[in-house]
Amino acid sequence: MTARAPLLHLDQRTVRKARKLAERAAAPVVELARTHTTTSVERAVLRLAGLTGADAEGIPWVNRLVDAVAADVGLEHGVALPVFDALASGEHADLATLAQKAAAGGAQFRLPAGVGHQRARRLAQRAVGAGIGRIDRARKDRDVMLRRLGDPPKPWIYLIVATGDIYEDIPQAQAAARAGADIIAVIRSTGQSLLDYVPEGATREGFAGTYATQENFRLMRAALDEVSRELGRYVRLTNDASGLCMPEIATLAGLERLDMMLNDCMYGIIFRDINPRRTFIDQRFSRQIHARAGIVINTGEDNYLTTADAVDAAHTVVVSQLLNERFGLEAGLQDWQLGLGHAFEINPALPEQFRLELAQAQLVRELFPHAPLKYMPPTKHMTGNVFFGYLLDAFFNLAGVLTNQEIILVGMMTEGIVTPFLSDRDLALENVRYVRDACAGLAEDFVPARGGFIAQRAAQVLAESVELLERIADEGLFTAIADGTFGITKRPADGGRGLDGVVVRADGYYNPAGALLEQAGPVGRPA
């Protein structure tokens, strides 16, 4: 986007200080990610190499093969060298055959040396490189469709469609696109982030969401391509890359040309009790994949305000956004890929609530002028009064237009009551379309008074953000998370799920995907 002239007159020295502090706070976490691997990172390597399918119990072959390698030689050197050394022996036709034999105890693994090491390395790089090449081609396909069909005007309208049944999701997603949605989000079945494997195939059951699988990705992408051609505009698809299989889901998203992925630095830690170390290691690899695939990430700061007070905790949202920015840029993401999240969650009974919301939204807009911010509608204070809920969503839509948010999630008047009916979605889409069209260009006239309420509130939140970043930079991000700084939920560094899947890299660790992703990938156009 083209950045507007700043309106809040923020102290730019304070802004620069905030970013420097975020970089210092992030540095030890980045070093952790660079010196460790996880079972899911290693499984993602095998997925890039082309290994698919699952056994009779539904456990993917990538899980079985990584477990077998770990049992024989550990994962300290990565999975690629032992696996491709075994393939080079000529005793196994392909990766799938090797995985099946390994699961049955019919294959043994070693760490190759000398000529064997070099041969295994070449084979691994070739196989994984083919997977990354497929991601590159998917990105080029998106660029071609964008050139042919064009983009809808911003703000993009983001709508959730997730019935639990992919074959029900598809017609609902197409209907939503025809009704004006620009981005379709197929959120995952509740609890999938706690599964340490990615289900296979198309799925027809799920609670409050649909399972994220490669086949479900493929089916929905094809359906949205069909409706994109019908409508003459490209309709984007998003899903979730978080939890215990974050690197694998990110990889599958790149392979199947998803356009956006929910990928936040702390959401899984705070709201799903995923181990902090596991999360940050998995996240760096995931974001490298997203960077290469041209995927826009959506971060989850809005969730903090469902548990913490939106006024008192406003600065924690900004701090998390600055950390997400730093982690994202370090992993190779560009500004246009940073869909940093925030939300319209201040209690509507609070005097001057709308002014407070405008101050927060404009502050975020000016701190990240080139990022396609994702603005979330009210949820916490939706009471079941659908008339008031519809009005509150209209105020949210107005705040989004006034402050030039680029991605606006559609608010539902039935939030927290029922899974939305198609009629609910139609009314919600009508609301956001009306405000967007009626107030088009109104942002040009929104000029907060210098030194006025909005400017002062923004400056206060920024100052509080710097103060918190100073503490985090000194004491460490893991300490801050353990203390309940974000979302008031305390998560110790050694607690949560998935710590047993964290492995310290040994000298000589080799990950062909990591080596290829560190290289400059295709730049392309902003997705």
Series of mean pLDDT values for 10-residue runs along the chain (527 residues):
78 98 98 98 98 96 98 98 95 94 95 97 97 98 96 92 94 95 94 95 92 98 98 97 96 98 90 95 97 95 83 94 97 96 94 96 97 94 93 97 95 84 90 94 93 97 98 97 91 95 97 86 53
Q: Both ends of the chain: CA-CA distance in Å? A: 12
Sequence-distant (≥ 6) Cβ neighbours of residue 360 within 8 angstroms: 310, 314, 317, 342, 346, 457, 458, 461
Q: Please name which of 254, 265, 260, 255 lies closest in space to residue 240, comparing C-alpha atoms.
A: 260
Sheet of 296-298: strands edge to edge? Answer: 338-339, 296-298, 260-262, 236-240, 183-185, 156-160, 407-409, 374-376, 341-343
- Residue ranges with strand state E in 257-320: 260-262, 296-298
Question: Using CB atoms within 10 A of its CB, is residue 273 exposed (0-12), middle (13-18) or buried (19+)?
Answer: middle
At which residue do the structure tokens 């029922």 appear? 418
- The reply to whether 27 falls in a domain is no
Report the number of distinct structural domains present in the chain: 1
Q: What are phi and psi of 505, to 5 degrees?
A: -70, 135
Q: How far is CA 303 from CA 164, 223, 297, 349, 440, in A?
A: 22, 30, 15, 20, 29
CA dihedral 143, 147, 149, 151 (to 10 degrees): 80
The CA-based diameter of the chain, rounded to the nearest angstrom, is 75
pTM: 0.95
The strand pairing partners of 262, in sequence order, are: 240, 298
CA–CA separation, 127 and 238 (whole Å): 27
| Integer-rounded Cα radius of gyration of the chain | 23
CA–CA separation, 345 and 64 (whole Å): 44
- The reply to whether 423 falls in a domain is no
The predicted pLDDT at position 357 comes to 97
Interior/surface letters 174-206, b for 16+ CB within 10 angstroms, e for the rest? bebbebbbbbbbbbbbeebbeebbbbbebbeeb
- Domain span at residue 53 reads 37-128
CA–CA separation, 182 and 158 (whole Å): 6
Active site residues: 267, 302, 374
The predicted pLDDT at position 521 comes to 58
- The reply to whether 320 falls in a domain is no
- The reply to whether 122 falls in a domain is yes
The strand pairing partners of 408, in sequence order, are: 157, 375
Neighbours of 458 (CB within 10 A): 26
Q: Which one-letter DSSP state was computed for residue 54?
A: B
- The reply to whether 494 falls in a domain is no
Per DSSP, the residues of 348-387 read TTSTTHHHHHHHHHHHHHHHSTTS--EEEPP-TT--S-HH
CA–CA separation, 450 and 431 (whole Å): 32
The predicted pLDDT at position 177 comes to 96
CA atoms within a 13 Å half-sphere pointing along the CA-CB vector of 50: 16
- The reply to whether 469 falls in a domain is no
266 near 481, Cβ under 8 Å?
yes
- The reply to whether 43 falls in a domain is yes
- The reply to whether 26 falls in a domain is no
Question: Using CB atoms within 10 A of its CB, is residue 59 exposed (0-12), middle (13-18) or buried (19+)?
Answer: middle
Instruction: Identify the sign of the CA torsion 408, 414, 417, 419.
Output: negative
258 near 221, Cβ under 8 Å?
yes
234 near 149, Cβ under 8 Å?
yes
